[in-house]
Amino acid sequence: MADLQSQDYIRRSASTMTPPSIRDHEREVAKLIDVSRCIGCKACQAACMEWNNLRGEVGHFEGSYDNPLDLNPSTWTLMRFTEWENEQGNLEWLIRKDGCMHCEDPGCLKACPAPGAIVQYANGIVDFISENCIGCGYCVKGCPFNIPRISAVDHKSYKCTLCSDRVGVGLEPACVKACPTGAIMFGSKSDMTTWAGERIEDLMSRGFTKAGLYDPPGVGGTHVMYVLHHADRPSLYAGLPDSPHVSTYVAVWKGLFKPLALAGMALTVVAGFLHWVVAGRNEVQPADEAEGQRVLHPTEDKR
Amino acid sequence: MTYPPGTLIRNTTAARINHWITAGCFVLLVLSGLSMFHPMLFFLSDLFGGGQWARAIHPWIGIVLFVSYAALIVQYLRDNMWNRDDLAWLGSIRRVLANEEEGVPEVARFNAGQKFVFWSMALLVPVLFLTGIVIWEVYFSPYTTIEQQRIALLIHSLAATAAIIVWIIHVYAAIWVRGSVRAMTQGYVTPGWAWRHHRKWLRRLATQHSGKPTPRTPGRV
């Protein structure tokens, strides 16, 4: 894909200039994952592997439905299963499809030091341009959702692309295509928000009074949203952050401190130069040499 | 190494080699580190063969610097111990900066400014080393939480900035006070230089008739 030029960037990592963005007349897209309709079949996981030609190493059974146990460089989406006993003492099987949330204000992109290694298109998709990636792992620190994974083989960071290659030619992401229950929907963000509203209404009418849409404002909203039956407690769903935001440490480091540090260094150099101009160099004088000799050879001095 | 007759050995050959290994590592670390710190300085990574190379080699250079600076600490610790003369010297810092050193309290081998550089680095280098280990993705990322790595990154960049500023002061002072660079390249200074800048050290050398830059003070062994 890197051979096709993109002229629809709205953000580009480690770039101080406006990225090519003339083709910005694009609708913001969103993937809506309706947790209440998911049956945990993992068709989305399989479709992701198939479309993206990803084949992770075959692992071992770990006593959990989660398979593999965690995201990795070749697993960009993962079903996470939670068995939760609700207030009535009933078991609820909460299944969440985990993966990149495609934040409107992406922490990975903010933290990335490599120009153009992470970009955001006008449709909202956050994409890793791997040939620019230097493998530092800063995106891992920037991400509030613990998504990017660095490959030990090629030292590049990987995550869900929201099938930017498919979306770019008018197709829906592979996981959406494969979902047999319609739990994963894809379209414009406004359409998906409207659709989520209908789903939430339905859930509420069935007794899930806390049902709601997960589109966290702490990261400016996301382009992957969830319909949750327990939207008041997102962390029930395998630790989905309750109020995600880019870490303050990362914000200070990449925000205020970056220009301050360079200014501090530059000022020190300028101060040195000004001292050179005002006071000038400190040179040993012939009188000093005479005094020095006198200290070293006091007897000769007496003679 | 032979020194011109009548000069004083300021830094031994071993100390000078040690110093320049540290200095070389420091410069390489500044260049590769800044390339990963500010977008406008990313071009510096080209000096190392690209971003991946800069990222990969930076921590290894850091290890060399850490070991090298530890050796410098061993060699220079005794002459950098803080004492009352340093406060007196600091009290006359204006005269020192104005190149009017007559009347400034006498100092031994190192003045308070040099000790400040020594101790700043003695503090900052271990901080940079430890936080650097935490953020060394390739080998150490599984051993800490991401939150700890975020804190380590922030501290690492703060400490690095402080170290760079101290380093600029160190380099400028060496250029400003003539004869200092030669003291670290060829190792010797003239008696006049010692008289002007480190009179106590000169007096000690004179009373000890020592050929070494670090004669023991009377009463101390």
User: In the prediction, which pLDDT does A201 show?
Assistant: 97
Residue B62 has pLDDT above 80, yes or no: yes
H or E stretch covering A79 = strand A77-85
The domain defined by A9-254 folds into Alpha-Beta Plaits (3.30.70)
What's the CATH number where B156 sits? 1.20.950.20
Task: Render pLDDT for B105-129 as a digit per residue (tens, 0 to 9).
Answer: 999 999 999 999 999 999 999 999 9
- B141 vs A137: CB contact, 8 Å cut-off? yes
In chain B, which residues have their Cβ closer than 8 Å to the Cβ of A253?
A: 153-154, 157
Establish if A141 touches chain B: CB-CB under 8 angstroms.
yes
User: Which whole-number Å values give the CA distances from A8 to A39, A102, A253, in the listed order?
Assistant: 36, 16, 28
The parent domain of residue B179 ranges over: 13-187
In a domain, B114, yes or no: yes
Whether B209 is catalytic is: no
Is residue A113 within 8 Å of residue B45, measured between CB atoms?
no
Q: Cα distance from A281 to chain B (closest Cα, Å)?
A: 5
Domain count, chain B: 1
Instruction: For residues A248 and A255, give the distance between their C-alpha atoms in angstroms, rounded to a whole number.
Output: 10
- Assembly ipTM: 0.92
User: In the prediction, which pLDDT does B136 show?
Assistant: 97
Q: In this predicted model, which residue has the larger pLDDT, B2 or B172?
A: B172
Q: What is the mean pLDDT of chain B?
A: 93
Which are the contacts of B93, defined by CB distance < 8 A and separation ≥ 6?
A: B113
User: In the prediction, which pLDDT does B215 show?
Assistant: 60
User: In the prediction, which pLDDT does B211 show?
Assistant: 64
Compute the average pLDDT of residues B160-179: 97
Structure tokens at B179: 């004869």
Residue ranges in chain A whose pLDDT is less than 50: 1, 301, 303
In a domain, B161, yes or no: yes
CA atoms lying within 13 Å on the CB side of residue B120: 18
Residue B220 has pLDDT above 90, yes or no: no
Compute the average pLDDT of residues B25-52: 97
Establish if A270 touches chain B: CB-CB under 8 angstroms.
no
Q: Which of A136, A282, A298 sits opposite B99 (nearest CB)?
A: A282
Question: Three-class SS of residue B75?
Answer: helix
Domain ranges of chain A: 9-254, 266-302
Angle among Cα A247, A251, A255 to the nearest 5 degrees reads 175
Task: Render pLDDT for A142-182 as a digit per residue (tens, 0 to 9).
Answer: 999 999 999 999 999 999 999 999 999 999 999 999 999 99
Task: Render pLDDT for A250-275 as a digit per residue (tens, 0 to 9).
Answer: 999 999 999 999 999 999 999 999 99
Residue B33 has pLDDT above 90, yes or no: yes
Cα Dmax for chain B = 60
Structure tokens at A297: 């050879």
Which are the contacts of B73, defined by CB distance < 8 A and separation ≥ 6?
A: B118, B122
Instruction: For residues B47 and B50, give the distance between their C-alpha atoms in angstroms, rounded to a whole number.
Output: 7
Which residue in B19, B156, B170, B197 is the catalytic one? B170
Residue B221 has pLDDT above 50, yes or no: no
- B193 vs A292: CB contact, 8 Å cut-off? yes
* Residue at B70: amino acid letter: A
